[in-house]
Amino acid sequence: MDLENQKRIKTLAEEKGAENLVVILGGAEAEASGLACETVTTGDPTFAGPLAGVQLGLSCYHVVEDEVKEAVDPAVYDEQVGMMEMVLDVDAIKAEMQQYRSETALA
């Protein structure tokens, strides 16, 4: 997750409260999505960005996870995510995201 996005998320969490935010990721790789999830929950693991050492504890999901898919109008989901879902390793992404949530007790 780039430093500008870290700054935006940190600002939103301060303004709105972490309990009022959910981060929806859309990365193409499971590992990158997992690192982004880690960044918004327990802090930037590289200790380089605005979230270094900052535990926001935000809820975090990937757009291909069932929880997100079920919350979106099926026609909109298909139009916006359908093609992406066909080429991604959805199972690996789901497993990575679930792992990070279970490790941070945010499941």
Q: Are 64 and 81 in contact (CB under 8 A)?
A: yes
Q: CA 25 to CA 8: how far, in whole Å? A: 14
Q: What is the pLDDT of residue 70?
A: 96
pLDDT above 80: residue 93: yes
Coil/strand/helix, residue 59: strand
pLDDT above 90: residue 106: no
The closest of 98, 40, 28 to 66, measured between CA atoms, is 98
When pLDDT is cut at 50, 70 and 90, the band that residue 105 belongs to is: low
Q: What are the residue ranges spanned by the domains of the chain?
A: 3-103
Q: What is the pLDDT of residue 103?
A: 79
Percent of the chain with pLDDT over 70: 97
